[in-house]
Each structure stands twice: as structure tokens, then as C-alpha cells.
């Protein structure tokens, strides 16, 4: 994982982190990465992991890694407690995102530092490389399509001074920042990024931390490209995959209401998810970066 992100940092591209909660969505992500020879991060939130099963997700990813020889990293997305972090690590996850952003600043630091120290213990005991991502700033929204307009307040954004202090006091490998991004797709507003703020954060942190952008769905392509130039190396995409899946499924069920074979019913969803992942891999610049 570190190697994959280090190479992205040096090569000025980003690796997509794509969420899944079913075997066919995981397969669609892997097939897209395989066709474009791209490293990939596949993620489950706590809810998604509970649905597919964390140990089962890890076993599936292991099988895909073996079958494709691709660097596929399994990541816990928005772990909210030490308990869920422990579960993911026991199941075999390679990367942990601990999200303490809803806590007070001091609580977020204390909890994130505790996770980093727990993971360090595991690394030493079992000789496993596990990367920890912290989160700072107020990330609005959820991974769905929002009818209401997005309103991001200046105080929601990650402060460069706090980011530096947070990284020093917690020892995280990566940091998810808020620079105008939000979870989900907002129909009534443009999700523009504050690139100046990103440059200031980069300046404050230097190259020792990997910068992560959540809410990759719905951000203008130009802003994504500029954010990558300014040092973003991991971009999370969930909502656009969910929408592609749902649209494909609804269309298929409407057109062939008597079809009962799951792999036929799910084929359009599979194709739609795969094509979104391919678009994102191209946009993020990780195509051919094995």
C-alpha cells in the first residue's frame, strides 16, 4: 500500500478507492483495473463490510489478487471505532481509514493516535504492513444523490496548521482533507475545490503524508486534475458506482420483468460500474502504472 501510494506521489497521479458491498461490484472494479493495468484500492464502509462480510471480502480480494497479479489493496472506509478497526485487521484488511472527524479536535487526535499505536503493534507482531489514514475537517453529505444544495462553510475546511499538528501528534500515514469536497452527488450545486487551500496544506505537510480526497463523485474533472497535480494521491469514489449500479438494475428489471437469472439481471449493472471505474482510472492517471 505504501509503495503504491509512494509511486503515485512521485509520478503525480492518484489511485482510485472504489467501494463495494457485493461480489459482482468488486469484480467490475477489478476487471476495469485489469483492462487498464492500474493499481486499485477497494473499500468497504462499516455497513458495506457488514453486508458482504469482512473476512469474505478479504478472501475475495485475495482470490482476485492471485488471479490477476494486480496490486489490489483492501481498505476499511470510515471506520468509526477501534472495535471496527480491529475487526478489519483481523479479517485481513491492508489499510484502515479511521474517521474521527465528528469528534472534537482533541478527541480525534487521541482516538486516531490510539489506532495508529494499535496498528503499529500488529505490524510488529505479525510483520504486516497496514497503512492508517486519519481525517480532519468537516466532510458533509453521504454517498447518495442529494436534492438539496450543498453548502460548505469556511470553517468546514481542513486548516493547514491543524493538519500539521494532527499528523505530528497521531503519526498517520495518510490524511483525508476537506477542501470543498463532500460525499455524494449534489444536483443543485457545483462541487468546486479550494485548490489554494490544498496547496497550503501540502506546503504545511510536505511529502511525508499521503493526501486523500473523499467524495470524488460529482467534482468537476478539471478540479480533480489540478488536485492531483497539487499532491492528492488517493481519491474515493462511491456514489457514482452506486448510481450506475442502480440505473442498470432498474432498466433491466423494467425491460425484462420475467428474467430470473441473477447473472443476467445483474449484467447491465456490472457493465455500468465497470465503465465508471475505467473513466475514473483514466481521469486519475493511474492507467498503466503497475
Least Cβ distance, residue 197 to Zn ion (angstroms): 18
Rank residues 184 and 268 by Cβ distance to Zn ion and give the closer one. 184
Binding flag, residue 280, Zn ion (CB under 5 A): no
Rank residues 44 and 194 by Cβ distance to Zn ion and give the closer one. 44
**143 φ, ψ to 5°?**
-75, 70
Which of 87, 140, 202, 214 touches Zn ion by CB under 5 A? 214
Q: What CA–CA distance (Å, rounded) separates 3 from 48?
A: 26
Q: How much of the chain is helix, strand and coil, in % rounded to 5?
A: 50, 20, 30
Task: Choose the binding region for Zn ion from 148-156, 187-195, 211-219, 278-286 (rule: CB under 5 A).
Answer: 211-219
Q: Rounded to whole angstroms, what are the CA distances from 151 to 140, 158, 190, 194, 266? A: 9, 16, 10, 14, 36
Residue nearest Zn ion, CB atom distance: 214
Rank residues 57 and 235 by Cβ distance to Zn ion and give the closer one. 235
Among the listed residues 77, 94, 99, 223, the single catalytic one is 77
135: nearest Cα among 93, 91, 92, 179: 179
Does residue 252 sit in helix, strand or coil? helix
State the angle between helix axes of 160-170 and 105-126 in degrees (0 to 180), rounded to the nearest 10.
Answer: 40
**Catalytic residue status for 77:** yes
Q: Identify residues 218-247 at the interface with Zn ion (CB under 5 A).
A: 236
Task: Choose the binding region for Zn ion from 10-18, 101-109, 213-221, 272-280 (rule: CB under 5 A).
Answer: 213-221
List contacts with Zn ion (CB under 5 A). Answer: 214, 236
Please give the positions annotated as active site: 77
Amino acid at each position: 500500500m505504501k509503495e503504491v501510494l509512494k509511486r503515485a506521489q512521485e509520478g503525480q497521479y492518484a489511485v482510485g478507492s472504489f467501494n463495494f458491498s457485493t461480489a459482482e461490484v468488486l469484480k467490475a472494479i477489478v476487471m476495469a483495473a485489469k483492462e487498464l493495468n492500474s493499481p486499485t484500492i477497494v473499500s468497504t464502509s462499516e455497513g458495506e463490510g457488514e453486508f458482504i462480510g469482512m473476512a469474505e471480502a478479504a478472501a475475495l480480494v485475495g482470490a482476485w489478487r492471485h488471479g490477476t497479479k494486480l496490486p489490489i489493496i483492501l481498505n476499511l472506509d470510515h471506520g468509526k471505532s477501534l472495535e471496527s478497526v480491529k475487526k478489519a485487521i483481523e479479517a485481513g484488511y491492508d489499510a484502515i481509514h479511521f474517521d474521527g472527524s465528528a469528534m472534537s479536535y482533541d478527541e480525534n487526535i487521541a482516538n486516531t493516535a490510539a489506532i495508529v499505536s494499535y496498528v503499529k503493534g500488529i505490524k510488529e507482531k505479525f510483520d504486516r504492513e497496514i497503512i492508517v489514514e486519519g481525517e480532519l475537517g468537516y466532510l458533509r453529505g453521504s454517498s447518495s444523490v442529494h436534492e438539496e444544495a450543498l453548502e460548505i462553510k469556511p470553517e468546514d475546511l481542513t486548516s493547514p496548521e491543524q493538519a500539521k499538528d494532527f499528523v505530528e501528534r497521531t503519526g498517520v500515514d495518510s490524511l483525508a482533507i476537506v477542501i470543498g469536497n463532500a460525499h455524494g452527488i449534489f444536483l443543485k450545486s457545483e462541487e468546486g475545490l479550494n485548490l489554494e487551500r490544498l496547496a497550503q496544506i501540502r506546503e504545511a505537510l510536505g511529502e511525508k503524508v499521503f493526501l486523500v480526497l473523499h467524495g470524488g463523485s460529482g467534482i468537476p474533472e478539471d478540479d480533480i486534475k489540478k488536485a492531483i497535480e497539487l499532491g492528492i494521491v488517493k481519491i474515493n469514489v462511491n456514489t457514482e458506482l452506486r448510481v450506475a449500479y442502480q440505473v442498470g438494475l432498474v432498466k433491466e428489471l423494467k425491460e425484462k420483468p420475467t428474467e430470473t437469472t441473477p447473472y443476467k439481471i445483474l449484467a447491465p449493472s456490472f457493465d455500468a460500474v465497470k465503465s465508471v471505474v475505467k473513466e475514473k482510472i483514466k481521469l486519475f492517471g493511474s492507467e498503466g502504472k503497475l
